[in-house]
Amino acid sequence: MGHVIPFIEFAKRLVHHHDDFNVTCIIPTIGPPSTAMKAAVEALPAPTINHIFLPPIIFDDDDQYSTKSPETILALAITRSLPSLACELKSLVASSRTNVVAFVVDFFCTETFEVAREFNLSSYLFFPSNAMVLSFLLYLPKLDEMVSCEFKDLTEPVKIPGCLPVHGRDFADTFQDRTSGTYKWFVDMIKKFSLARGIIVNSFMDLESGALKALSEEEPGKPPVYPIGPIIRSGSSESDDVSWSDCLTWLDNQPSDSVLFVAFGSGGTLSHAQVNELAFGLEMSQQRFIWVVKTPNDESASATYFSVQNHQKNHFDFLPEGFLERTKERGLVISSWGPQIEVLSHGATGGFLTHCGWNSTLESVVYGVPLIAWPLYAEQRMNALMLSEDVRVALRPNPNEGDGLVTREEIAKVVKELMEGEAGIGVRKRMRVMKHAASMALMEDGSSIKTLSKLALEWKKNQTASYGKTN
Ligand code: UDP
């Protein structure tokens, strides 16, 4: 969902500002689409924006689907969906009603460029993450050649163009084992970025000026970069879950800026020990909170990435005994999935303890909610670094050196600091500045909307037929 949502929001923004375009979203699947996925695409304004689900790919027994990382599952889904993608493109291109001016793909899908070439389509990448991660990925093939050890063993931080130096241990999980097949797949995939005619990135100038300036410098094999963000989910989350309406009613009765929202995105899970510490830490902080809780998992920090829709209904046996009773005046606990946008946009919400997924980050920026950065997997450690040390809109708890656990005392301290302390005032102020900058970028003459128009103009030039809508 973290890839699909920004993609379809991008489509909506394009047709809103340039109503002579149509968009067809083609989505590979690994099984029946989740309820959240179906709700998101069915709400699109057909026929201006259509969607097609490709048939689910078949996993062999040898694939050991359940033990694979999200990246590996995505890679398999894309490779095995290429034939069905080709069929769909063939019929789109053959249709007399459409004139396909651009083929825009998620950055995981560079393999599809070859299919697009068969149909003479101009390919663009859509990068739903930030400019820092994009700058890192574009630099990675060079780094791969220069460095022979594991990145986590490098003694000096790596200087990514336009960004803060980053320690190898903070690179995304995929880059922690250079002998793995996923690492090699990733590097090959990134090398194909150069085949794109442009890269659309979900960020904006004032948030990441250093990285975006570095990305705009021309270099052979580096496509032009189009920052068109922040793009976040518009409209309200659909749910008949009463805990959601209870949650929003509860928020209505809290003082402004007083509630900490705690959620780890679609995939993030904590161990039993960490859930325990977090519960005690929230309790000790004496702050108001809403916590979206998932069943703990001791094996993986991304355990629910593809299965978050399978809500377990309010079984909180794993929380410390008496926790719910003791915190009921101050805290609310929601199972699995909460109305994040509604909570972040509510005046009572004054902080967000987040795994630093890029969508969650941009949603906080748009609504001006300061952060506690608690990265778990994928590129989240890099995001956390940028948010706490570069943009300075986040505080960061320190995990234990040995077991990596964040203790209840540390959690209580950082939560109190964000909600009441001096450092909290600082990050809140910075976040308000970013909120203003985000809204300016999206004004008619703002940087992101102007960039979108540039892109639209380029695509219109690709139009050869003199009639019909442009896809
Ligand atoms: N989200 C939500 N309710 C939740 C958790 C997440 O609505 O309880 C939404 C959130 O608003 C965001 C997306 O799910 O739009 C998560 O995307 P992000 O990039 O932050 O993290 P990912 O899930 O990709 O790790």
* Index of the ligand 1 atom closest to the CA of residue 266: 23
Residue 33: Cβ within 10 Å count: 19
Q: Among all chains, which residue has been given the structure tokens 């398999």?
A: 76
> Is 434 in contact with 130 (CB distance < 8 Å)?
no
Residue 124 tokens read as: 């663009």
225 lies in the same domain as 253: no
Q: How far is CA 462 from the centre of its chain?
A: 30
DSSP-derived secondary structure letter, 390: I
Pairwise CA distance, residues 463 & 471, whole Å: 9
Confidence (pTM): 0.92
175 lies in the same domain as 247: no
Within-domain flag for 73: yes
Within-domain flag for 234: no
371 lies in the same domain as 411: yes
108 lies in the same domain as 214: yes
Residue 2 tokens read as: 């973290």
pLDDT at residue number 186: 87
* Index of the ligand 1 atom closest to the CA of residue 2: 24
pLDDT at residue number 303: 63
Pocket of ligand 1 (CB under 6 A): 1-2, 5, 233, 237, 263, 265-267, 292, 337-338, 340-341, 357-360, 363
DSSP codes, 344-371: HTSTTEEEEEE---HHHHHHHHHHT--E
221 lies in the same domain as 367: no
Q: How many CA atoms lie within 13 A of 175 on its CB side?
A: 29
Within-domain flag for 236: no
198 lies in the same domain as 255: no
Pairwise CA distance, residues 271 & 262, whole Å: 16
> Is 253 in contact with 285 (CB distance < 8 Å)?
no
Please count the structural domains in the chain. Answer: 2
Tell me how far the alpha carbon of residue 92 lies from the centroid of ligand 1, in angstroms: 32
- If one residue of 9, 337, 359 were mutated to test the ligand 1 pocket, choosing by the most ligand atoms within 8 A of its CB, it would be 359
Within-domain flag for 235: no
Residues 127-155 as b or e (16 or more Cβ within 10 Å = b)? bbbbbbbbbbbbbbbebbeeeeeebeeee
Q: Omega before 230 cis (within 30°)?
A: yes
319 lies in the same domain as 457: no
pLDDT at residue number 62: 63
Does residue 227 sit in helix, strand or coil?
Answer: strand
Within-domain flag for 287: yes
> Is 302 in contact with 316 (CB distance < 8 Å)?
no
381 lies in the same domain as 320: yes
Show Cβ contacts of residue 403 under 8 Å, excluding neighbours closer than 6 positions. none
Residues 262-292 as b or e (16 or more Cβ within 10 Å = b)? bbbbbbbbbbeebbbbbbbbbbebebbbbbb
Q: Which residues pair with 371 in a beta bridge?
A: 352, 394
Using CA of residue 266, residue 272, residue 278, residue 284, what is the dihedral sign?
A: positive
User: pLDDT tens for residues 64-97?
Assistant: 555 667 777 888 889 999 999 999 999 999 987 7
* Index of the ligand 1 atom closest to the CA of residue 292: 8
Tell me how far the alpha carbon of residue 267 lies from the centroid of ligand 1, in angstroms: 8
Within-domain flag for 30: yes
137 lies in the same domain as 286: no
> Could you list the residue range(s) of the whole structural domain that residue 161 is in?
4-229+445-470
255 lies in the same domain as 377: yes
pLDDT at residue number 243: 75
Tell me how far the alpha carbon of residue 345 lies from the centroid of ligand 1, in angstroms: 14
Tell me how far the alpha carbon of residue 360 lies from the centroid of ligand 1, in angstroms: 6
Pairwise CA distance, residues 281 & 319, whole Å: 12
The residues that are catalytic are 3, 106
Q: Omega before 141 cis (within 30°)?
A: no
Within-domain flag for 440: no
393 lies in the same domain as 462: no
Among 306, 313, 232, smallest CA distance to 293 is for 313
Within-domain flag for 237: no
| pLDDT, one tens digit for every residue, the chain (471 residues) | 788 889 999 999 999 999 999 999 999 998 898 887 888 899 999 999 999 999 998 777 666 555 667 777 888 889 999 999 999 999 999 987 778 999 999 999 999 999 999 999 999 999 999 999 999 999 999 999 999 999 999 999 999 999 999 999 999 988 999 998 889 988 999 999 999 999 999 999 999 999 999 999 999 889 999 999 999 988 666 666 667 888 999 999 999 999 999 999 988 889 999 999 999 999 999 999 999 999 998 887 766 665 554 445 567 999 999 999 999 999 999 988 889 999 999 999 999 999 999 999 999 999 999 999 999 988 999 999 999 999 999 999 999 988 899 999 999 999 999 999 999 999 999 999 999 999 999 999 999 999 999 999 999 987 754 445 567
Q: How far is CA 361 from the centre of its chain?
A: 8
- If one residue of 266, 269, 363, 380 were mutated to test the ligand 1 pocket, choosing by the most ligand atoms within 8 A of its CB, it would be 266
Atom 7 (ligand 1) nearest CA: 340
Q: Among all chains, which residue has been given the structure tokens 């970025």?
A: 193
pLDDT at residue number 276: 97
Pairwise CA distance, residues 144 & 149, whole Å: 9
193 lies in the same domain as 211: yes
pLDDT at residue number 314: 61
pLDDT at residue number 429: 98
Q: What is the CATH number of the domain that holds 279?
A: 3.40.50.2000
